[in-house]
Amino acid sequence: MIDHSKVVVCASASTTKEERPSCDYSTPITSDKLDGSNYASWSRGACITITSHRMASWINEKKLAPSKGSVAYAEWEEDNCLIQSWLLNSMTKPEIDCLHPHEFSCADDGARRLKEVEADRVYAFLKGLDPPYDGVCSRILALSPVLPPLKAYAMVMEEDTR
């Protein structure tokens, strides 16, 4: 049963009023953040929370954006951003970092994605090095395009033997 003393009236994208239970927007939507190993429980908790706030139509793509020039668009955009912030705040940093937009359309795209993955590996490798290797790290990062992982490793090993 809804406690009507805690109901807020919010404008929806269709410019009609819909009731939505009030909530503390800073409260996480799940008790545990998505970390890559708990998708089933995280997803269930997130769906329950978002549905209980009567905003599931944003997730299941039933709430379409009104035209950008319309009055309802600003209200729709606010709600859309709210849900995005809920989702991002319920994920760990490494999970958020995995959210790169990928637009594959041919074999060349696979090669481009491989370069992105290799660059991420080089950055992770360099990030894990001790301070005495800061100089070689700077030199590697200054190169464009980013070196393949084996070449970056070879440069660090060369510096280590000096």
> What is the rounded CA–CA span in Å between residue 99 and residue 102?
9
pLDDT of residue 75: 86
Contact 16, 3 (CB under 8 A): no
Tell me the whole-structure pTM to 2 decimals. 0.48
The H or E element spanning position 9 is: strand 7-11
**Alpha helices, H only, the chain:** 39-52, 56-59, 71-89, 93-97, 107-127, 134-142, 149-161
Bridge partner residues of 20 (DSSP): 8
DSSP state at residue 18: E
**Positive/negative CA dihedral, 69, 10, 88, 43:** negative
Residue 11 phi, psi (nearest 5): -80, 140
**Has residue 93 got a pLDDT over 70?**
yes
Distance from the Cα of residue 20 to its chain's centroid: 25
Mean pLDDT rounded to a whole number for the chain: 78
Q: Which amino acid is at 56?
A: A
**Has residue 154 got a pLDDT over 80?**
yes
pLDDT of residue 156: 92
pLDDT digits (tens, 9 = 90+) for 69-92: 888 888 888 888 888 888 888 888
Give the position of tokens 């008790």: 31
pLDDT of residue 98: 73
